[in-house]
């Protein structure tokens, strides 16, 4: 009977594991911030003033600093998923930011100071992410000036309140529409188009395609549980309402667990000719693959994290993705245009990381670097590189992404500050060919079909707060 008891315990574990499906859940993020501690000391109490080095670009006569900034160094922190479900993407995004700082430092740094990255691995676990945050936000020599990357909605939601209390700026690696809302995260400096607006632009694009072919758009929306799924779904539902498109199947938060037969069955039987997904790449491949295998034909697209060119254009489903899938996104693919930003990025990687394989997501890390540099330079110009000064500077700047994505500023109301542009990419399996950067050849198989563009429904819409 000992085994029966033991098995009962592990049956329960198995049940939980199966029901939860993947570990990529966004569940339970909100409200978790209460578990992390904050300190009572204020930044002002420990503020010091140091003279700016002579080589700084137009330095203020004196620059106030507190944590993470010394006479010769500025420390920025990354709370990154380097061992969890998004590790493959995040490792390359971190690499993008690393190379960016190597270039900046080689050119004299910011305000005469070298930028030093402090990278901590969260594994996409909220408790570990909070622990990392507390390390990075420590009001001591160990602390950083700002957090230049914080992976994931759950961890960002968990630390948002603390970031406000600690008066430290955080750039999330998450595109939830929550972050532009000052009530949720005044210190969370969102970047790029949020999932909600991305869904609206994407569905407008797909609807135009179907209409041009003489058909009436019929939409199916598939989303997973959590903030990510909810935000993408909300945008899709809003687009359907504004465009007067019939939603023939709405699987809101229903893509959960490992067996998606029910979702595929209902999708195939729905009569949809447009499908919008807010899923993980694995979920997308499963549902897309099974639906296509059953003869289901539609125009597919989804929020950017739904798709992974390595898995989808490098796998057995490549031809089908080529035929039916349009990828949505916020940044230009590798070598996707001739912009100044892309030329800088490619040149830097060719020189500093010639053996790395090309990747579309280096640009995200590079853009994080551009954001941080712009904000820090503004803070230096203001003569205040304290954490509070950096937060204040973020509200004064417009970041020029030099053609890698739409420029962005954060001042004004929610409606004023959200980014409305996104891209649609054509997935070309025949072009997919991952090569080392130094080869000067190869492609991720994604090419700009349209963008940056703003659909009519997004241009006209007044966003008075997050979509969820």
Quote the Cα angle for 177-178-182, to 5°: 125
Return the residues of window 203-232 that contact other proteins according to CB under 8 A. Answer: 225
The nearest distance, CB 13 to other proteins, in angstroms, is 7
Q: How far is it, in rounded angstroms, from Cα 196 to Cα 180?
A: 12
The nearest distance, CB 289 to other proteins, in angstroms, is 5
Q: How many CB atoms lie within 10 A of CB 213?
A: 9
Cβ closer to other proteins: 256 or 363? 256
Return the residues of window 242-271 that contact other proteins according to CB under 8 A. Answer: 251, 253-263, 265-266, 268-271
Residue from 85, 112, 154, 235 that binds other proteins (CB under 8 A)?
85
Return the residues of window 269-288 that contact other proteins according to CB under 8 A. Answer: 269-271, 280, 282-283, 285-286
For 128-164, b/e burial (b = at least 16 CB within 10 A) is bbbebbbbbbbbeeebbbbbbbbbbbbbbbbbbbbbb
Residue 352 sits in the site that holds other proteins (CB under 8 A) = no
Residue 323 sits in the site that holds other proteins (CB under 8 A) = no
Piece in contact with other proteins (CB under 8 A), picked from 69-77, 188-196, 290-298, 333-341:
290-298
Crossing angle, helix 261-270 and helix 281-293, to 10 degrees?
A: 50
Residue 382 sits in the site that holds other proteins (CB under 8 A) = no
Look up residue 48 and give its two tokens.
Answer: 């010091």
Piece in contact with other proteins (CB under 8 A), picked from 17-25, 98-106, 169-177, 399-407:
17-25
Cβ closer to other proteins: 87 or 134? 87
Helix (H, G, I), strand (E, B) or coil at 97: helix
Residue 415 sits in the site that holds other proteins (CB under 8 A) = no
Q: How far is it, in rounded angstroms, from Cα 287 to Cα 181?
A: 33
DSSP 383: T
The nearest distance, CB 231 to other proteins, in angstroms, is 17
The nearest distance, CB 226 to other proteins, in angstroms, is 12
Residue from 294, 413, 430, 439 that binds other proteins (CB under 8 A)?
294
Cβ closer to other proteins: 23 or 415? 23
Q: Which residues pair with 149 in a beta bridge?
A: 78
Residue from 17, 51, 411, 459 that binds other proteins (CB under 8 A)?
17
Residue 297 sits in the site that holds other proteins (CB under 8 A) = no
Q: How far is it, in rounded angstroms, from Cα 4 to Cα 9?
A: 9
Residue from 47, 70, 105, 290 that binds other proteins (CB under 8 A)?
290
The nearest distance, CB 356 to other proteins, in angstroms, is 12
Residue 122 sits in the site that holds other proteins (CB under 8 A) = no
Given CA atoms 146, 142, 176, 287 in this order, what sign does their dihedral have?
A: positive
Chain mean position to CA 366: 13
Q: Environment class of residue 183 by beta-carbon count within 10 Å: exposed (0-12), middle (13-18) or buried (19+)?
A: exposed
Residue 200 sits in the site that holds other proteins (CB under 8 A) = no
Residue from 23, 35, 50, 441 that binds other proteins (CB under 8 A)?
23
Return the residues of window 145-164 that contact other proteins according to CB under 8 A. Answer: none
Q: Environment class of residue 331 by beta-carbon count within 10 Å: exposed (0-12), middle (13-18) or buried (19+)?
A: buried
Q: Identify the helix (H) or strand (E) that includes residue 157.
A: helix 153-166
DSSP states of 417-468: HS---EEEEEE-TTT-B--BGGGS--B-SEEEEEEEE--HHHHH----S---
Cα–Cα nearest to 379, from 137, 189, 175: 189
Residue 103 sits in the site that holds other proteins (CB under 8 A) = no
Residue 302 sits in the site that holds other proteins (CB under 8 A) = no
Residue 13 sits in the site that holds other proteins (CB under 8 A) = yes
Residue from 308, 327, 374, 386 that binds other proteins (CB under 8 A)?
308
User: Under the rule (CB under 8 A), what is the footprint of other proteins?
Assistant: 1-4, 6-7, 10-11, 13-15, 17-19, 21-24, 83, 85, 87-88, 91, 225, 251, 253-263, 265-266, 268-271, 280, 282-283, 285-286, 289-290, 293-295, 308, 310-311, 314-317, 320
């Amino acid at each position: 009977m000992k085994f029966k008891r033991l098995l009962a315990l592990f049956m329960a574990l198995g049940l939980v594991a199966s029901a939860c499906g993947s570990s990529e859940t966004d569940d339970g993020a909100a409200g978790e911030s209460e578990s992390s501690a904050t300190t009572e000391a204020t930044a002002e109490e420990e503020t010091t003033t140091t003279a700016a080095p002579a080589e700084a670009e137009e330095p203020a006569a004196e620059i106030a600093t507190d944590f993470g900034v010394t006479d010769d160094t500025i420390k920025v922190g990354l709370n990154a998923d380097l061992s969890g479900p998004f590790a493959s993407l995040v490792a390359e995004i971190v690499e993008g930011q690393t190379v960016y700082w190597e270039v900046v430092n080689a050119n004299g740094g910011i305000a005469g100071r070298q930028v030093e990255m402090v990278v901590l691995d969260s594994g996409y676990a909220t408790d570990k992410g909070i622990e990392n945050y507390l390390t990075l936000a420590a009001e001591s020599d160990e602390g950083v000036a700002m957090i230049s990357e914080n992976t994931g909605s759950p961890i960002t939601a968990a630390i948002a309140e603390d970031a406000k209390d600690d008066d430290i700026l955080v750039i999330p690696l998450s595109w939830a529409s929550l972050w532009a809302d000052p009530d949720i995260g005044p210190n969370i400096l969102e970047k790029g188009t949020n999932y909600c607006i991305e869904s609206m632009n994407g569905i407008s694009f797909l609807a135009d395609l179907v209409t041009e072919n003489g058909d009436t758009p019929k939409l199916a929306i598939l989303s997973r549980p959590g903030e990510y799924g909810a935000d993408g779904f909300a945008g899709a539902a809003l687009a359907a309402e504004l465009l007067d498109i019939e939603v023939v199947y709405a699987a809101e938060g229903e893509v959960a667990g490992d067996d998606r037969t029910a979702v595929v069955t209902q999708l195939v039987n729905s009569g949809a000719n447009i499908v919008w997904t807010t899923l993980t790449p694995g979920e997308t491949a499963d549902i897309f693959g099974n639906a296509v295998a059953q003869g289901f034909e539609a125009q597919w697209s989804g929020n950017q994290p739904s798709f992974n060119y390595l898995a989808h254009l490098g796998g057995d489903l490549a031809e089908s993705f080529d035929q039916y899938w349009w990828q949505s996104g916020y940044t230009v693919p590798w070598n996707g245009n001739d912009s100044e930003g892309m030329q800088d990025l490619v040149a830097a990687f060719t020189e500093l990381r010639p053996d790395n394989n090309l990747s579309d997501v280096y640009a995200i890390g590079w853009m994080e670097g551009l954001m941080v540099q712009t904000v820090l330079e503004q803070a230096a110009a203001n003569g205040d590189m304290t954490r509070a000064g950096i937060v204040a500077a973020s509200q004064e700047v417009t970041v020029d992404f030099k053609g890698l994505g739409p420029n962005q500023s954060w001042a004004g109301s929610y409606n004023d500050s959200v980014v409305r542009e996104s891209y649609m990419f054509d997935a070309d399996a025949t072009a997919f060919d991952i090569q080392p950067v130094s080869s000067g050849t190869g492609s991720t198989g994604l090419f700009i079909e349209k963008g940056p563009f703003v659909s009519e429904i997004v241009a006209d819409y007044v966003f008075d707060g997050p979509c969820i």
